[in-house]
A and B are shown apart, each in its own frame.
Chain A
Amino acid sequence: MSSMKITIRASSIRHFENNLDKCTETVKSTGESVIQGFLEESFAMSQERTPVDTGALRDSGKLEVQVTDDAVFGAIGYGDKANVNILSGISTDLYAVDRHESLTIKNPQAYKWLERLMLNRVRDFEDALESAFQGLF
């Protein structure tokens, strides 16, 4: 018959918990920096694709990153009450969705300019995450 004795020191558990906390913080800050960088790059690209008549719609674009306790959220959006088309007098929030969802013969490249850009950048995002986390731990 054989026996085994295991001793667990309270200090070891505290050490493990501290390391785990550090790890969580590292993941969060790395994730935030990847998302921020990726969205800034995507935002600049989306600005080039935004249909321009007076430029009000392009100028209404905004980028937002929010960090909560357990997640990082990022968003790019177009259309704002404050950005008004000087020719029509209509604020961009009233036509941003329509412009994004409508395919027109005049400017087919503008069709779903933001969604198509982001769908085409999914792999870039995965690569950015992968390279940021590689060798981190």
Chain B
Amino acid sequence: MERFLHSLVAFFAANNIVPPEVQIGALDLEGTYLYELPAQPNNVYVFNLYEQALPRLGGQGFAVKYLQVIVRNESMVQAQRNMERIFNFVVSLSDPTKDFIQEIDGKFHIFEPCSGPVRLNRDEQKNFIWSLSFPVKTQI
């Protein structure tokens, strides 16, 4: 699970979708905020793998992993821009007119976004939070 998240975050960072400084943090820090920018504590990215399923028929060797990405920022505009960048990137990865099978860390991945980002309520520090959830078919 952790390797999948590491590879994915590195892939997003390599494509300038999340800042390159994004790195794994302490898992028990806040429960949810797995990835953060130490220099900018208000500028938080969370990658959370919340479910996975093995296909029942065919497609052996693949699993579907369900991922949630959360962005948090004290600026409303910045939070929205950060989420837009991630959402547009994920949508572009799933474009059937292009090469939609991504090779990440030596394994094939197919991104299948089926819903848009949702704005969550502001946290106690009045930061703005957006969430995006999408499945990724992954070679196992």
How far does the alpha carbon of A94 sit from the alpha carbon of B122 in the complex, in Å?
12
A98 / chain B contacts, CB cutoff of 8 Å: 120-121
Supposing A95-B121, A102-B120 touch, asked if A119 and B131 sit within 8 A by C-beta, the answer is no
Q: Which of B7-15, B45-53, B79-87 contacts A (4 or more CB under 8 A)?
A: B45-53
B62 within 8 A of A: no
* A101-B31 contact, Cβ under 8 Å, with A116-B50, A119-B51: no
CB < 8 Å A-B pair total? 38
Provide the main secondary structure of the chain B interface: strand
Residues of A close to B31: CB separation below 8 A: 103-105, 108
Total interface residues on A, CB under 8 Å, equals 19
Q: Contact size class for B?
A: 10 to 19
- State the B residues within 8 Å of A (CB): 30-32, 48, 50-51, 53, 56, 66, 68, 118, 120-121, 131, 133
- Would you give 25 A-B contacts (Cβ < 8 Å), ordered by A? A97-B118, A98-B120, A101-B68, A101-B120, A101-B131, A101-B133, A102-B32, A102-B120, A103-B32, A103-B50, A104-B31, A105-B30, A105-B31, A108-B31, A111-B50, A112-B51, A112-B133, A115-B51, A116-B50, A116-B51, A119-B51, A119-B53, A122-B53, A123-B56, A126-B56
A-to-B contact residues, CB < 8 Å? 94-95, 97-98, 101-105, 108, 111-112, 115-116, 119-120, 122-123, 126
